[in-house]
Structure 1
Amino acid sequence: MSIAVTGATGQLGRLVIADLLARGVAPDAVAAVVRDSGKAADLAAQGVEVRVADYDAPDSLAGAFTAGDRVLLISGNEVGRRMPQHSAVIDAAAKAGVALLAYTSVLGGPAADFTLADEHRATEELVTASGVPYVLLRNGWYTEVYTANLPAVLEHGVVIGNAGEGRVASAARADYAAAAAVVLATDGHENRAYELSGDTAWSFPEYAAVVAELSGRPVAYQDISGEQRLEILTGVGVPAAFAEVLVDVDNAIARGLLAGTSGDLARLLGRPTTTLRETVTTELRGLGALA
């Protein structure tokens, strides 16, 4: 039996494997399922088994899992293509007779009615119908989704969005990775859904204020209409279809769909989640922009 992590060379996958090893899971009990073995050379050097498979090549998934494996299906990142990809992984896991299939879904599950959640909801249905013991890891937003834009925020002194006073209960990517590692490495999680989010929900005006305080620079939140934001995003080269998804996400935030604070994430971690302030501090320090 191994713990098999798909998308293992991605940002989340690498953190999950690092956390598993830090928890004392033997490297040879961890399998990194990747498209390119070359990108997993560092994992192989640590003793992690590397299995080559591609979400887009169902035949390649036949050898990705073995009977008794605990599998983490990290959702694909290509919106609009994820259903056939996820379906292929789920089918391969079921045929192999895995002991557990954990899936990184979206906060709210069936209640998440925004476009970006559509494929997650459909994947959850496939997972629960597969007959495989499962865990639904309904991840909220990563704080890094926002702090990745800090260079532009600092340059222009503004955070732009169409979320109004909506709040986001985000947590650090590493928090979600650690929760996945807990579920994979410990017992008692079968056939459960966890609503994973940060302990405290924040608004975009509050985010801008934290960035301003920690950077020592003037930063404010500018709320605009969805139409205006769509024009801005496409104007800087974001494909129209994805720009519409981003605008729709902010509309969902305005409706309160990403503000839930169930406490599930902190309970799995056994500690408070990483705060917005902590992540902003870390990112600003890395940019050399901490006041």
Structure 2
Amino acid sequence: MSIVVTGATGHLGHLVIDELLKQVPATDVAAVVRDEAKAADLAERGVELRIADYNHPETLKDAFHAGDKVLLISGSEVGRRIAQHSAVVDAAAASGVALLAYTGILGGPDADLKLADEHKATETYILASGLPYVFLRNGWYSEVQTENLAPVLEHGAVIGNAGDGRVASAARADYAAAAAAVLTGEGHENTAYELSGDTAWSFAEYAALVAELTGREITYKNVPAETRQSILEGAGVPADFAAILVDVDHAIERGLLARTNGELSRLIGRPTTPIRETLAATLKDTSKDTPKA
């Protein structure tokens, strides 16, 4: 029996494995990856590599073994994820895994935003499979904001269409720690966890924080949805995905990502990481990469 993490070379997957290796021997951990070369560091740490691809169901037949605990990290290809996730669920069910945990979206079936559609369909498919499950309904990752600083600093503005809506974000490492806690713990079967940060912030507050930490003048500009769509497309974002981002801001405005129920901090046994800390770390890393004059 192994603890198996899919998408293990992605941001979240790699952090989950980091957390697991603090708690269990590397020989108990397996990583499902598409590219063996990209997972060389995991192999060097003693993690078993299982090569498979969400887009090729035939490659998944040996990805899971009877009794495994599996973390299905949702795919990044919006619009293709239902088929991808279904292939993983089918392979896991055929192999007789002991538990399937899935990283969905905050709110689960009640989340009425476009980004939630594939997550809701996946949860329904998992329920129909009869597998013991855990739904890790992740809220917003702080890094989605903090790692997108270039246009903010260039234009001196955080631009959105979220109004005064608030976001209870947490660091990816927090969500990774929650996944590891579920995979190494007991009594989580057939449970859905609504995971979010301890404190919600507004985009105006975020802009002020960027200004404080950089010493630059940064403001929040709330714009109509049509304007935001045009700005995103002008920056090279495909129209369909730009529409999803605009819709996310509408959801934020309605308060869908503001809940602070404490489930994430309870799972990980500590407070969630404040966005100030994540932003400060990002700025520090950015300064390291900036050539000195």
Q: Which letter maps to 2:80?
A: R
TM-score (norm: length of structure 1): 0.98
Amino acid at match of 2:122: T
Alignment pair present for 1:133 and 2:132: yes
Which residue is equivalent to 2:11? 11
After superposition, what is the alpha-carbon deviation per residue over 1:252-275, rounded to whole angstroms, capped at 9, x for unaligned?
A: 100111111111100011000000
How far does residue 235 in structure 1 lie from its aligned partner after superposition?
A: 1.0
Deviation, 1:216, is 1.2
Q: Secondary structure of 1:80's partner?
A: coil
What's the CA shift string for 1:123-176, capped at 9, x where partnerless?
Answer: 011111211110000000100001111122122210000000000000001100
Q: Which amino acid aligns with 1:19?
A: E
Q: 1:32 aligns to what?
A: 31
How far apart are residue 288 of structure 1 and its match?
2.3
1:204 paired with 2:227, answer no
CA distance in 1, matches of 2:152, 2:242: 18
> What is the match of residue 47 of structure 1?
46
Q: Which amino acid aligns with 2:85?
A: H
In structure 2, C-alpha distance between the alignment counterparts of 1:155 and 1:224, rounded to whole Å: 18
Measured in 1, the distance between the counterparts of 2:265 and 2:127 equals: 25
In 2, Cα distance between equivalents of 1:231 and 1:281:
30
Are 1:230 and 2:229 counterparts? yes
| Partner amino acid, structure 1, of 2:217 | P
Residue correspondence of structure 1 range 102-113 to structure 2 within 5 A: 102-113=101-112
The equivalences for 1:46-195 within 5 A come to 46-195=45-194
Aligned residues: 288
- 1:228 deviates by 0.3
Aligned to 1:246: 245
Task: Return the TM-score normalized by structure 2.
Answer: 0.97
Percent identical across equivalent pairs? 68
| Structure 1 counterpart SS, 2:53 | coil
Match of 2:291 in 1: none
Listed as ranges, the matches of 1:212-227 within 5 Å are 212-227=211-226
* C-alpha separation in 1, matches of 2:238 and 2:210: 28
The residue aligned with 2:265 is 266
| AA in 1 matched with 2:70 | V
1 CA distance for matches of 2:220 and 2:283? 18
Deviations 1:201-236 (A, max 9, x none): 110000001111111111110000000000111111
What's the secondary structure of 1:63's corresponding residue? coil
How far apart in 2 are the matches of 1:157 and 1:8? 35
Matched residue SS, 1:190? coil
Distance 2:276 2:232 in 1: 26
Quote the Cα distance in structure 2 between the aligned partners of 1:199 and 1:211: 20
Q: C-alpha distance in 1, partners of 2:175/2:204?
A: 25
Large movers: runs of 4+ above 3 Å: none
Aligned partner of residue 102 in structure 2, secondary structure: strand
Whole-angstrom distance in 2 between the partners of 1:151 and 1:187:
43
Greater CA drift, 27-36 or 278-287: 278-287
Task: Give secondary structure in 2 for the equivalent of 1:8.
Answer: coil
Gaps of 5+ in 1: none
How far residue 181 of structure 1 moved from its aligned partner, in angstroms, is 0.5
Separation in 2 of the partners of 1:288 and 1:3?
37
